[in-house]
Amino acid sequence: MKKLLFISLFLVANVNSDVDLGEDFAAGDLVTADAFNTKFNALNGVVGEIVDADLLGTWTCTAYKYILIDDSDPAFDVGGGGNGRVDDFSLFKSRTGDLFFTEGLAGAVDDGPSLNNPKVWTMTIPDVLFNHPDTIGNYALLANKLYFSGQNGNYLGIFYVHKLSASKFTLVHVPQPITNQNIAAGPGVGNHDIICEAVVEDDTTSD
C-alpha cells in the first residue's frame, strides 16, 4: 500500500502541480484509511476515469498550432478571428472560443451517461476543435475519449481527454484511418494541442 501511494504521489508531482494533496506524510507516520482515501481520491480525479459530470459545463478552449509544421490556417491569424502568435517570438499561434457541454434533452438534469444518450456540445466560434464549420452537435464519452458528431449527425472526430486538474483538461486528437464512410461524412480535421479551462460563474449580485 505504501508503494502504491508513493508511486501515485511521484506520478502527480511530475505531471501536475495543481493537485492539492494536503500535508505530506513523514517517515514513520501511521496513515489512517481516511487520510489515504483523501489523497487517493485527489489523484484519481486527475489520472483516473473521466465521467460525464467532469465535463458538463462551460469551458474556454484554446487550440494551438505549431507554426513550423502548420502555418497555413488563416483562422488562427488575428485577421481571421484568431489570436495570432502567442508572443512575438513564439512558435505557436492560437484560437480561442467557449465550449459548452450540456445534457441532450432541453431542461434535463441527468439524461444518463453519454454512452447511452449522447449529450450536446456547442462552440461559440468554429475552427477551435475542428477545421470544420459546425459549432454544435452531439458527443459520447467512452474510455476517456470523446466522440464528436456534427449538427447533421456527421462524423467529426475523436479526442483523448487528459485531465490536468479539476478545472483544466487537454484534448488530444486521435487520427482515424480514411474510409469511404468518413470521407462521405465529410469529417473535420481535429486541431492538436487544445487546452480547456473551466469558466467559473460569478455568484456575486449587485444590490
Asked, for residue 163, whether it belongs to a domain, the answer is: yes
The pLDDT value recorded for residue 192 is: 79
* Per-residue pLDDT tens over the stretch 144-202: 999 999 999 999 999 999 999 989 999 999 987 655 544 444 455 678 789 999 998 76
More confident residue, 160 or 131: 160
> Do 131 and 160 have their domain in common?
yes
Least confident of 63-72, 98-107, 136-145: 98-107
Asked, for residue 80, whether it belongs to a domain, the answer is: yes
- In degrees and rounded to multiples of 5, residue 175 shows phi and psi of -60, 140
The pLDDT value recorded for residue 98 is: 98
The pLDDT value recorded for residue 176 is: 74
> Do 58 and 42 have their domain in common?
no
The pLDDT value recorded for residue 31 is: 59
> Do 14 and 105 have their domain in common?
no
> Do 39 and 136 have their domain in common?
no
The pLDDT value recorded for residue 160 is: 96
Residues 12-32: what's their mean pLDDT? 54
Q: Give residue 144's region: left, alpha or beta (phi > 0; psi -120 to 50).
A: left
> Do 99 and 119 have their domain in common?
yes
> Do 40 and 118 have their domain in common?
no
Domains held by the chain: number: 2
> Do 36 and 70 have their domain in common?
no
| Percent of the chain predicted with pLDDT > 90 | 52
| 133 CB-near residues (< 8 Å, 6+ apart) | 126
Query: Does 35 score more than 80 pLDDT?
Result: no
Q: Tell me which residue range forms the domain holding 128.
A: 52-198
Dist. CA 141–CA 139, nearest whole Å: 7
> Is the Cβ–Cβ distance between 86 and 66 less than 8 Å?
no
* Per-residue pLDDT tens over the stretch 64-95: 999 998 888 899 999 999 999 999 999 999 99
The pLDDT value recorded for residue 29 is: 57
> Do 99 and 172 have their domain in common?
yes
> Do 34 and 80 have their domain in common?
no
Residues 106-122: what's their mean pLDDT? 82
| Percent of the chain predicted with pLDDT > 70 | 65
Asked, for residue 96, whether it belongs to a domain, the answer is: yes
Asked, for residue 158, whether it belongs to a domain, the answer is: yes
Asked, for residue 24, whether it belongs to a domain, the answer is: no
The pLDDT value recorded for residue 164 is: 94
> Do 10 and 94 have their domain in common?
no
**What CATH number is attached to the domain comprising 171?**
2.40.128
Residues 46-58: what's their mean pLDDT? 87
**Cα–chain-centroid distance for residue 19?**
17
